[in-house]
Structure 1
Amino acid sequence: MHNYNLYTLKTLPEFISLYQQLNEDEYNQLEQEILHHSYLTPICTWNGIVINGIDAYDIFRKHSIPFRIKRLHFTCKEEVMSWICTEQLKRKDITSSNKKYLIGKKYDAEKILITRQLSAINKTHISGSNMASKKVSEECNISPATVYKYTTYSHALDVINEKVPDLFKRIRSNQLWISHANIVEISILPKEQLLNLNDYLLSEQISHLSYPEMKRELQWNNFAPLIPQKESPVPAIRNLPKYDPDAEVASLTLTIPSWDSSIERVLNVTDFKTVSSLAKTKLKQQLMQLSSTVNKTLKILEEK
């Protein structure tokens, strides 16, 4: 088997998280193809790291079967992540949740790449957010506003993954459907409450939860541990949600992209020559106030 070897490669969690994972049947089918030598696709690598064919690599190593690799060349991690997202988005079986997640992650990578390029040319920091959203929107055939919306979704999922990886995996694998609004809402919850929510969804075998159902069934406004207590009841004060110092900041972080999206949409669709002086004056006043608040916040963050 010319050029076939049992390579030892590396994997990165942030790359692996971009793949749409195979279900059990799909994994078994791929394993049979490899065992019968009918799988001939090489494993793509970058600097010795697997960037495509992660499941195949796992099976090759599992059965000590030699395989081929294809070395790809990128200048940085963000280029790799954008490439992985593009390749995964080509899948015919891509789920809606993974599509939104990957578009958001591709935007993040492209924003860093374009900002880096612009800053190198102008010798000062220039945000590449607008150019990145335009590039991704054209590649994915969606509006820039939708790109920002999906980026908020992917950021919320990443927060969930940091707190409860199992919940993240079940959402990404389509085992659990939660609305876009709910994803953003629950990402703000403290880890303990999110764990309780995940346990509740598992125990009740809930696989589809809309926003109204979340509000009604889980008593959203007075969120407390949801699993029935088998032991003697504890004082009510212990069921109060624990203070999370990051909650407000996390909420603001997830909200800001929607502001960018709204402003970008106005810039794209509005002919300001036809807008009344009164409307433009009011908008200018609000933008100046927003700018003042942003500068004040940045100053506080720099001091802290």
Structure 2
Amino acid sequence: MEEKYRIDPELNAVLPNLSEEDYSSLEKSLLTDGYKGAPIMVWGDVIVDGHNRYEICNKHHIPYEVKQIDFESKEEAVRWMVRQQIGRRNLTPIQRIEIAEKYRPFYTEKAKENMSSGGKKYSPKEGLQNSSTLSNENKIDVRAKLAEVANVSTDTYSKGKKILESGNEELIEQTLKGEKSINKAYNELKASQKKEFDKKIEGISSSDLKSELQDLKENKRKEVAKKVRESREKYGIESPEYDEAKAEQLNVEIQINELENASCNSDGIERVKQIQKRYRDYLDVFQEDVNWLLSMEFYKNDEEITSSIHSELRNCMERFKGVDSLITRMTIDDLGCIVINK
């Protein structure tokens, strides 16, 4: 069959990619049973659903069925394609979010167009006035629109997006399979990130802590402030891009606060370590001296008092060991206080 339809790269990006195993299985089924099921959907000469079946049928000259569908714009075509994928089978919330994210570029572009309408440039001083000239129907909340497509709340959508972008493959897979809810996975992600940050702080020296703190204050703080300003000027203060930039700015300030506390506490930790080392060194020397004294005999006014002295020395040594146990378990908590670990 002569090929007469094409695959639009931009629309193709919206469609799910089949794994090699699934593609091979589909190819085997078409070769064995022929073309069955729903027709290949096309918009003019562009395929909007069934691109894998179309590719395989053309490759092996297998007859196939085609059905035309009309759209007013590419945006409408993408919306239809996304909803087709979401409604095709039972999906977990995060799977619906993953599919809906493919529609983000179209909403983002539309939001940009609306922000620039009216011929006025958004400025820090006039931003609120300019944004108010846009009618409510022209404003686009990208996050809200995508959450609507995925049939989840905006809060759930934001959490799901952060999970998908986290790089934690195990957590992503567990959430995609429905083994963990988005809320549970998100809380685990935040706890994991906090643990990694704490471990990072614990593993570096006081001078490195101060160096990183300086970098956060002098570079990262300026970087996120610029991002906040640019997102405000480009998208407006009611946009999700501005919200995300502000959230990143808040996160930097939290890190600065934690590092400042850690930097102060690291001095206390170093002091505790010095005390612990000095006491251990002293105890080793004292133990040697006590052992030597325990090997000697003692007399007072020609009366042997060895047993009494040895007993006192042993009691003294045990008390020093008790203090050593206490000092060994000392550390500094987040508030800069000395705590004794169990």
Normalised TM-score (structure 1)? 0.45
Could you state the TM-score of these two structures normalised by the residue count of structure 2?
0.41
Please say which structure displays the higher CA radius of gyration.
2
